[in-house]
C-alpha cells in the first residue's frame, strides 16, 4: 500500500498532467477536469503579473512557457498573488532571452510591481518625517514600508514596460543602466528613476543602518540628491517607523 506522501506525489503529478500517471487511471477524463483547471488558474496568475512580458512574447508563446514553468514549479501557497516569483529566472534560462536580453529584467520589474501592490502598508509615525529630521537626524534608523523596493538593471525596463503595456512593441532596445525606486501610493504602484548614489543610500536604509552610517558609506551622495530623497519619502509617507540610535 503506498504511503500518504507517495499518494500525494502521484496526485500532484497527475494534476500537472504527467501522462504516465493519467494513463493508469480508470477515468482519466475525470481527473483531467482538475488538471486543466489547476493549470488554467496558475496560467491566469502569471498573465496577471507578467502583462508586459506576455505582450512582448505573444499569447501563444507565453502560454507555452507558462505551462512549462507550471510543470516545474507547482504552487506552494494558497495565495495566487504569490505565484510566479522565480518566473524571471525561468525566462533567463530559456531560449527567448537570446533575442530579448532585457526580458529577465522586465520580468523582475513586473514581479516587484506585484509585490509592491500587494504589500501591507502601515505608517506608524506620530509626526511628519520632517519633524523627526530636525533633531539628531543622523542618529535615526528609518524603516520604509513594505511596498518600497529597489531595482537595478542594465536595460531601460521602465520604458520597455510602458511601451509593452500600451502594446507598442519594439524588439530593439539599447542597453542603459538604470536604478528604480518602486513604491505604492493608494492603489497605484509608482517607479521613480533615481541616481546610483540614491539607490545605494536606500539599500543601506533597507539593511537597517543608521542614517549616519548610510551617509558615511555614500560619500558621493550630494545635498540635492539627499534632499530630493527625503522630500519624496516625506511627501508619500513611505517611512513606516523611526528608531533613535542607542
Position 154 in a domain: yes
Q: Work out how many domains the chain is built from and give that number.
A: 2
CA distances to 18, 205, 232 from 200, rounded to whole Å, are: 46, 9, 16
Are 41 and 147 members of one domain? no
Cα 149 to Cα 151: distance, rounded to the nearest angstrom: 7
Are 217 and 173 members of one domain? yes
CA 8 to chain centre: 30
Position 110 in a domain: no
Are 23 and 85 members of one domain? yes
Are 95 and 135 members of one domain? no
pLDDT digits (tens, 9 = 90+) for 69-86: 998 898 887 788 889 999
Position 109 in a domain: no
The mean per-residue pLDDT over the stretch 142-162 comes to 96
pTM of the model: 0.83
**10 Å Cβ neighbour count for 117?**
15
Domain ranges, residue 220: 122-246
pLDDT digits (tens, 9 = 90+) for 99-148: 899 999 999 999 999 999 999 987 767 667 777 777 777 788 999 999 99
Residue 8: phi and psi, rounded to 5, are -65, -40
Are 77 and 197 members of one domain? no
The set of cell numbers assigned to 55 is 505582450
Of 39, 69, 100, the residue at which a domain comes to its end is: 100
Are 59 and 136 members of one domain? no
Of 69, 100, 131, the residue at which a domain comes to its end is: 100
pLDDT digits (tens, 9 = 90+) for 185-203: 999 999 999 999 999 999 9
Are 153 and 239 members of one domain? yes
With H, G, I as helix, E, B as strand and everything else as coil, classify residue 191: strand
Calculate the dihedral angle through the C-alpha atoms of 95, 101, 107, 112, rounding to the nearest 10 degrees.
140
pLDDT at position 26:
47
Are 81 and 141 members of one domain? no
Cα 238 to Cα 51: distance, rounded to the nearest angstrom: 26
pLDDT digits (tens, 9 = 90+) for 17-56: 555 555 555 445 555 555 556 788 999 999 999 999 999 9
pLDDT at position 136:
74
For the chain, helix (H) and strand (E) counts, in that order, are: 12, 5
Are 127 and 232 members of one domain? yes
Position 106 in a domain: no
pLDDT at position 229:
95
Cα 234 to Cα 36: distance, rounded to the nearest angstrom: 48
CA 244 to chain centre: 31
pLDDT band at 154 (very low <50, low <70, confident <90, very high): very high
Specify the DSSP element, H or E, that contains 1: none
Of 43, 70, 100, the residue at which a domain comes to its end is: 100
The set of cell numbers assigned to 4 is 500518504
Position 7 in a domain: yes
C-beta pairs of 198-201 under 8 Å, 24+ apart in sequence: 198/225, 198/228, 198/229, 199/150, 199/152, 201/225, 201/226, 201/229
Are 16 and 71 members of one domain? yes
Position 246 in a domain: yes
Q: What is the CATH number of the domain that holds 221?
A: 3.90.930
pLDDT: is 15 or 72 the higher one?
A: 72
pLDDT at position 165:
83
Are 13 and 69 members of one domain? yes
Residues listed for the chain: 246
Are 140 and 87 members of one domain? no
Position 107 in a domain: no
Cα 41 to Cα 112: distance, rounded to the nearest angstrom: 21
Position 108 in a domain: no
Strand arrangement of the beta sheet that strand 149-153 belongs to: 149-153, 178-185, 188-193
Evaluate whether 123 touches 239 at the Cβ level (below 8 Å).
Answer: yes
Amino acid at each position: 500500500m503506498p504511503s500518504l506522501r507517495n499518494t500525494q506525489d502521484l496526485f500532484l503529478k497527475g494534476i500537472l498532467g504527467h501522462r504516465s500517471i493519467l494513463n493508469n487511471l480508470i477515468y482519466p477524463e475525470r481527473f483531467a477536469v482538475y488538471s486543466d483547471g489547476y493549470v488554467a488558474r496558475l496560467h491566469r496568475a502569471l498573465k496577471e503579473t507578467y502583462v508586459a512580458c506576455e505582450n512582448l512574447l505573444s499569447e501563444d508563446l507565453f502560454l507555452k512557457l507558462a505551462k512549462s514553468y507550471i510543470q516545474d514549479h507547482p504552487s506552494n501557497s494558497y495565495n495566487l498573488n504569490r505565484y510566479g516569483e522565480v518566473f524571471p529566472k525561468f525566462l533567463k534560462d530559456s531560449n527567448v532571452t537570446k533575442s530579448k536580453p532585457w526580458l529577465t529584467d522586465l520580468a523582475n520589474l513586473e514581479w516587484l510591481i506585484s509585490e509592491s501592490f500587494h504589500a501591507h502598508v502601515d505608517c506608524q509615525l506620530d509626526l511628519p518625517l520632517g519633524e523627526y529630521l530636525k533633531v539628531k537626524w543622523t542618529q535615526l534608523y528609518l524603516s520604509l514600508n513594505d511596498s518600497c523596493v529597489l531595482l537595478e538593471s542594465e536595460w531601460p525596463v521602465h520604458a520597455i514596460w510602458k511601451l509593452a503595456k500600451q502594446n507598442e512593441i519594439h524588439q530593439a532596445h539599447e542597453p542603459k543602466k538604470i536604478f528604480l525606486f518602486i513604491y505604492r501610493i493608494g492603489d497605484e504602484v509608482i517607479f521613480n528613476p533615481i541616481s546610483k548614489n540614491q539607490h545605494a543610500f536606500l539599500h543601506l536604509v533597507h539593511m537597517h543602518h543608521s542614517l549616519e552610517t548610510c551617509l558615511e558609506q555614500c560619500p558621493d551622495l550630494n545635498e540635492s540628491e539627499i534632499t530630493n530623497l527625503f522630500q519624496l519619502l516625506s511627501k508619500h509617507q513611505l517611512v513606516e517607523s523611526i528608531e533613535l540610535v542607542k
